[in-house]
Structure 1
Amino acid sequence: MFSSLSLFIGGRFSRAKQRNKMVSFISLSSTIGIAVGVAVIIIGLSAMNGFERELKDRVLSVIAHGEYEGVRGPIQDWQGVINRVEQHPKIEAAAPYVKFTALAERGQQLKAIEVRGIDPDKESSVSNMAQFIGKQSWSNFRPGEKQVILGQGVADLLKVKPGDYITLMIPSTGSTSQVQTPKRVRVKVSGLLKLNGQIDHNLALVPLQDAQSYTRLGKGVTGISLRVSDVLDARQIIREAGNTLNISVYLRSWQQKYGYLYRDIQLVRTIMYLVMVLVIGVASFNIVSTLMMAVKDRAAEIAILRTMGATDGLIKRIFVWQGVFSGVLGSIVGSIIGVLVALNLTTIIKGLEKLIDHQFLSGDIYFVDFLPSQVMMGDVALVSLTAIVLSLLATWYPASRASQLNPAAVLSSK
């Protein structure tokens, strides 16, 4: 009974117009502060979720989870290496590749790029690269036709499109220490790789046999790329499988090149949780001042309730409910605003970039050239619950002071 009565009176106090305008202003500001804090934290966490999603679905779906490269030169028996490592239960697939650096030339434009020779059929088992290349370009990507698939950023710099020709200048290798004339190969751009990120600006693909011919490797390959079942444990899996090989190889995992991105995302997420507590905590302090002024403003009503038999616990619960109402209202409003903005964050930022004619994330620097966002209801619930809990804690002292009022002293002063 007392619980329902305290809820009813607390709601009436919250909805009633305050006699003191300052109380109304501070109450409104505390609610707005909580709402803004909740909204900002939800937007920030959604952006971090978006970056993590793009890292996994865009970058890690294209690059190899791990690689083996020969210590003493090309790997000749690469078929045997693939058969051996695929016996590991956590290695899903393996594919050969040839990697070398070349200078792409188109008219007066030059661009240093990493050229990767791949077998389209085997490559499809270790990466989802085909999803970011035109279906027809990927199906027609065959050796012997001097084709190349360029990253979208490379193509934009060279001002080429599918069907155009470029020249690849490939360093000549040999036993002599003298500088040799680079090999020039004229190739046709058969397709474009569009990942909207850093990879687009430095990668080109050629068929495996063509790459072997350009680099004079014969039947050998530079290395073997791997796809593992547990991406976060890639380094350990690659080491375990590498120990079973009878040749010396260098072990590389995606964590060596892109691991810092994942660590940075997790670090920023941790900082966001800390900021969440601080921002909402500061906003909740306004509830303390609001309730302290409300206690003074409602002193006569409290005294009347006490003379009618209200206990200390009832008086406390009344003002606890009044403070919780501010926290719940701010939390709900902030959650709605935060979710709506987070769902449209990418579109909003793109519109802002067009408005000020400035791109915040450049594809040649960052692994994506847009601001991704992914709303997770678990984060929304956590932020909202934190705001409500901190609001509840902020009501303890004012509620205690309200329960200690002397009704005789209050009513005699009126």
Structure 2
Amino acid sequence: MFRPFSLYVGLRYTGAKRSNHFISFISLVSMLGLMLGVAALILVLSVMNGFDRELKQRILGMVPHATIAGYGESLQSWRKVADDIARQPGVLGTAPYIQAQGMLTQGGSVHGVQVTGIDPVRENQVSIIGDHMREGSLAALGNQRFGIVLGAILARSLGVGSGDKVTLVLPEASVSVAGVVPRMKRFTVVGVFEVGAELDANLAYISLEDAAVITRQGDGVDGIRLRFDDLFDAPTAVRQIASGLNGPYLVSDWTRSHGNLFQAIQMEKRMIGLLLFLIVFVAAFNIVSTLVMVVTDKKADIAILRTLGATSGRIMRIFMVQGCLIGTIGTLLGTGLGVLLALTVTDLVAWLERALGIQFLSADVYFISYLPSQLQWDDVTLICSAALTIGFLATLYPAWRASRTEPAEALRYE
């Protein structure tokens, strides 16, 4: 049976028992180091992808992909504008809004809040708030006059729940017989939502009609919120849509309000990936040291093979086979371990939290209370390719040193 000479001898050298157990130990350390480096890279990048996914689904699920507002005044004919926008390609939904800044008070507690007037029916087209209601529903805003929906942290800070009363104080003054007093309105809590720490602490929703009353806008709205099928097309698409409408409009998109979050997490992903690649490089250096010691240990064998007619290229390929085998096994084991951990890390962390009685991610601090993970096979392919390439490059110098062995010099003291 035909057997390639270099491959056959390289595999025999790898599987043979060595008299020098230290070399075998270094080979095992090299393989384990490469395995741990690859597994750590896959796991950490999967967790970073998980955070990126949660940001897109939760934060941008609440924040509009883009907005079109009136230029210096409210939109009076917003229904026609919204219908024109909804017919544009790539637009999944539109919804009007009225925004106001104020303070909510209850029982001596005062908290700043951004109040948004919405159409409960249209809002589901541009926001995920309806899917994250902990108490009540958005539809209750249309049934309850002067009803309000609060974020979970805001409701907890005020100590209120569904059915309780809160007072909204607007930063505007009204003149009455008692003098100049701030504008205030009593609202009934009809729902509580829970999406993320930042949003749950400072957002509140009321009906569009109630918002028009307290802001004295009549039939007008501040603007229209848009949702696109591809959020990354939003910055360009919203400007194209606004340019095709009749009249001057102000446009904005998510990259202006929350783009820094995604830029930060992408930068962290790159930097952490680069740092963890150092583990793979350390394992590659171990492969170099392993092969150098093997070459020193096998000088007599190399000399005999050279005297039997083995060329320098064949000798070089023998030790390249040995090094590549160590790199391949370590990479494959690391890939399997990394994929397994990436798919189960959420459940493992949840189990640890229950077992130890602690919470690693608090919902009061972070926008999620669990460790997310999203395995992307493009990352796995890139990591495996890089690890195999580094492992291959690590074999070149020791294999070249082996090919330069002179038979007479090596056998002089044998």
So what's the TM-score if we normalise by structure 2? Answer: 0.89
Q: Which residue of 1 aligns with 2:164?
A: 164
SS at match of 2:150: strand
Q: Which residue of 1 aligns with 2:372?
A: 372
CA deviation map 1:259-307 (0-9, x unaligned)? 1122223323333453455442232122111101011112222233333
Q: How far did 1:383 drift?
A: 0.8
Distance in 2 between the 1:339 and 1:170 partners? 53
The answer to whether the Cα contact below 8 Å between 2:65 and 2:234 also exists between their aligned partners in 1 is yes
Q: Which amino acid aligns with 2:391?
A: S
Distance in 2 between the 1:189 and 1:348 partners? 38
Distance in 1 between the 2:161 and 2:12 partners? 69
Would the alpha carbon gap of residues 361 and 293 (structure 1) be closer, same or farther in structure 2, given more than 3 Å must change?
farther
Distance in 2 between the 1:183 and 1:3 partners? 91
Segment drifting more, 342-351 vs 401-410: 342-351
Q: Which amino acid aligns with 1:199?
A: L
Q: Which amino acid aligns with 1:117?
A: G
The answer to whether the Cα contact below 8 Å between 1:201 and 1:363 also exists between their aligned partners in 2 is no
1:14-53 equivalences in 2 (<5 Å): 14-53=14-53
Contiguous gaps of at least 5 residues in structure 1 = none
The answer to whether the Cα contact below 8 Å between 1:303 and 1:407 also exists between their aligned partners in 2 is yes
1:376-395 equivalences in 2 (<5 Å): 376-395=376-395
Would the alpha carbon gap of residues 130 and 203 (structure 1) be closer, same or farther in structure 2, given more than 3 Å must change?
same
Distance in 1 between the 2:322 and 2:211 partners? 73
Distance in 2 between the 1:201 and 1:343 partners? 32
Q: How far did 1:23 drift?
A: 1.8
The answer to whether the Cα contact below 8 Å between 1:38 and 1:383 also exists between their aligned partners in 2 is yes
Distance in 2 between the 1:139 and 1:169 partners? 24
Would the alpha carbon gap of residues 25 and 341 (structure 1) be closer, same or farther in structure 2, given more than 3 Å must change?
same
Q: Which residue of 2 aligns with 1:193?
A: 193
Would the alpha carbon gap of residues 279 and 180 (structure 1) be closer, same or farther in structure 2, given more than 3 Å must change?
farther
Q: How far did 1:372 drift?
A: 2.0
Matched, 1:262 2:265: no
Q: Which residue of 2 aligns with 1:341?
A: 341
Segment drifting more, 162-171 vs 324-333: 162-171
SS at match of 2:251: strand
Over the aligned positions, Cα root-mean-square deviation in angstroms equals 2.8
Q: How far did 1:2 drift?
A: 8.1
Q: Which amino acid aligns with 2:67?
A: E
Would the alpha carbon gap of residues 11 and 182 (structure 1) be closer, same or farther in structure 2, given more than 3 Å must change?
farther
Would the alpha carbon gap of residues 294 and 369 (structure 1) be closer, same or farther in structure 2, given more than 3 Å must change?
same
SS at match of 1:32: helix
CA deviation map 1:36-83 (0-9, x unaligned)? 221221122112211221122222222211112333332222112213
Distance in 2 between the 1:4 and 1:173 partners? 91
SS at match of 2:121: helix
1:310-325 equivalences in 2 (<5 Å): 310-325=310-325
Percent identity between matched residues is 38
SS at match of 1:210: helix
Q: Which residue of 2 aligns with 1:153?
A: 153
1:9-408 equivalences in 2 (<5 Å): 9-133=9-133, 137-172=137-172, 180-275=180-275, 277-349=277-349, 355=356, 357=358, 359=360, 363-364=364-365, 367-408=367-408
The answer to whether the Cα contact below 8 Å between 2:134 and 2:194 also exists between their aligned partners in 1 is no
Q: How far did 1:108 drift?
A: 2.9
So what's the TM-score if we normalise by structure 1? Answer: 0.89
SS at match of 2:301: helix
SS at match of 2:93: strand
Q: How far did 1:349 drift?
A: 4.6
Distance in 1 between the 2:350 and 2:184 partners? 40
Would the alpha carbon gap of residues 358 and 230 (structure 1) be closer, same or farther in structure 2, given more than 3 Å must change?
closer
Contiguous gaps of at least 5 residues in structure 2 = none
Q: How far did 1:387 drift?
A: 0.8
Distance in 2 between the 1:385 and 1:276 partners? 15
Segment drifting more, 105-114 vs 274-283: 274-283
Would the alpha carbon gap of residues 399 and 356 (structure 1) be closer, same or farther in structure 2, given more than 3 Å must change?
farther
SS at match of 1:92: strand
